[in-house]
A and B are shown apart, each in its own frame.
Chain A
Amino acid sequence: MTILEVRNLSKVYPNGTQALKSVTFSVEKGEFLAVIGLSGSGKSTLLRCINRLIEPTSGTILFEGQDVTHIKGEELRRYRQKIGMIFQQFNLIGRYSVLHNVLMGSLGSIRTIDSLLGRFPASLRQLALQNLEIVGIADKAHVRADSLSGGQQQRVAIARALMQEPLMLLADEPVASLDPATSHSVMRYLGYINREIGTTIICNLHFLSLVREYATRVIALKEGEVVFEGAPTDITEEWFRHIYGDEAVEVEIQ
């Protein structure tokens, strides 16, 4: 069953940069889709268009069959609640505790006044602890978020996204600022969420070795266009040079 369908999506930034050119693809429920491509090929732009952090210039985005390209206000909020997002820079609130950060994922589902006064229902606190359990750092619930290592912070960010009980998770280079070992640990949590919870995942990645290990399908962007679509094993030497340019040499991440 198709969860997301992107048709002819284009994005031109106000300064004239065309970041996406008529991108078309669809994602099945339960897939782990990797998006690859050179720096500047439009990967981040694509993910941000999907949850409408930036406005697409033209094209259509269908989520569970509903056209979400132009929804606004309350409708857009409800849509975003169904989609978690994690970022390369983790984007936690450093001064807050880990638990408080995870609770930020449930802001959309409680009254504004309660959230401003810090009144999160006990059931949500319970859920937050469970989600921290899933990413293996429940013991850090009460320390300040900025005292954690990068890998731990990214796991907190994953727990925050899980608070939304999302149908789909967007991950924008989630391991690009982590060392190889930590990268694998974070990727394994994403893999676990994908397989065990059944969350659909779209993940921008730099390393093909990670793509081969965790993704079920790949699309490659080049200068804003989809130039490859297929299984991770289909990326041959030739495709690799086409996507990354002739100079490129594949690096392994152990």
Chain B
Amino acid sequence: MCGIPMSSIKARAAQFAIDWLAGTYLVAMLHRILWAEVIMGVPIPFAWGGPESASLIEGVPDWLLYLTVGSVIAAFASVTKASLALVVQGKLPHSSWQRTVALHQGALLVSLTFITGWVVTKISLVDMFSGERLQAAGRIFSSMLQPECSILPQALNAIVETVYLAFMATVLAVPASFVLSFLSARNLMKSKFWTRAVYLSLRTLTNFTRSIEPLVWAVIFTVWVKVGPFPGMLALMVHTISSLTKQYSEQIEDIDPGPLEAIASTGARQLQIVWFGVVPQVFIPFLSFTIYRWDINVRMATVIGLVGGGGIGTMLNQYQMLAQWHEVGLIVLVIAGVVWVMDYVSARIREALV
């Protein structure tokens, strides 16, 4: 009676949007990469504002043109049902011509993306395998294969710093993540308006902090608290808090609600309900995640030194700047050894836990 249902309108709109995006992308890559760069050999800058002369139509920005053609493609797809979005959703019958057209469009999209990637990353076999380049490769490999062992004590000191840095970052992050994970578990927080508000803001915050890599955090903290292992530890800690909070809270969302309900029904207090209804179910997985995170943190701690975050990375950075490749070789060996041991030990502990 009231016409097309809302959900169907939404689905159509989403489908149009996907086709539009795909169409625009296709046209843009065809013009900028395949035509201009590969065929004509005149690269146009990727983003806005290429040289005026490169515009396809005078006075009209290329991107506007792409969007227009893209919308025409989307409209065509919408009318004829030869739509990429529908194919992805598996909604087109197998032997229809629409499916064939859409599949070809998809194949073109994938190949264009690959070509674009190749062009953009400036992949060049000449740069890798010409005689001169191979000589350079030989130089660095042969130096590194003869590591300078006199700096071993210094390297061991540095790697100890790295391991402890990772350890402290993990240990200090665990209590914070533990508390935060309960507050950002959907199943525990969905009941009241204000708890849902806490849940949503925490989720947003941790998603944001997690999307910033520890290396970037390290840059921030080296400005804040000066260079050294401390800013490195802080950087790893921040990243660990957001990562562990996510992993922990997903584990909490996965629990069997039965025991929780049973304990609530005895008239227990909120804290008791969570402590006895949730914690026993997540304790072992939490432990396992934590150990794994320490393992990851040791790896990250080795590179965090490259931007001034202390430990073996800082040492590596110094010798690399001086082009002392024998010393670099030794440092790489020490890192590889310690990371391998950590990896092995953490895997064994986690195996024993389950």
Contacts and interface: CB of A to CB of B under 8 A. Distances in A.
Given A93-B276, A93-B280, A112-B272, A87 B261 contact: yes
Interface string B270-291: 0110011100110100000000
A30 interface: no
A170 B264 CA distance: 14
B258 A80 contact: no
B276 A104 contact: yes
Contacts of B75: none
Contacts of A105: 266
B272 A115 contact: yes
B267 A108 contact: yes
Contacts of B266: 80-81, 84-85, 104-108, 160-161, 163-164
A83 B265 contact: yes
Interface residues of B, number: 20
B138 to A, nearest CB: 58
Nearest to A51: B265
Given A115-B272, A116-B275, A87 B258 contact: yes
Given A78-B267, A81-B267, A91 B259 contact: yes
Interface residues of A, number: 34
Contacts of B275: 115-116
A53 B264 CA distance: 8
Interface string A61-83: 00000000000000001111111
A95 B280 CA distance: 7
B276 A80 contact: no
A156 B275 CA distance: 20
Nearest to A107: B268
B265 A116 contact: no
B262 interface: yes
Interface string A93-116: 111100000001111100010011
Q: Which 4 A-B pairs have the closest CB atoms?
A: A81-B267, A108-B267, A80-B267, A91-B262
Interface of B: 256, 258-259, 261-269, 271-272, 275-277, 280-281, 283
15 contacts: A53-B264, A77-B267, A77-B269, A79-B267, A84-B266, A93-B259, A93-B281, A96-B280, A104-B266, A105-B266, A107-B272, A108-B266, A112-B269, A115-B276, A170-B265
Interface of A: 51, 53, 77-85, 87, 89-96, 104-108, 112, 115-116, 157, 160-161, 163-164, 170
Given A87-B258, A104-B268, 10 more contacts: A53-B261, A80-B265, A84-B266, A94-B280, A95-B280, A104-B263, A107-B269, A107-B272, A108-B266, A115-B276
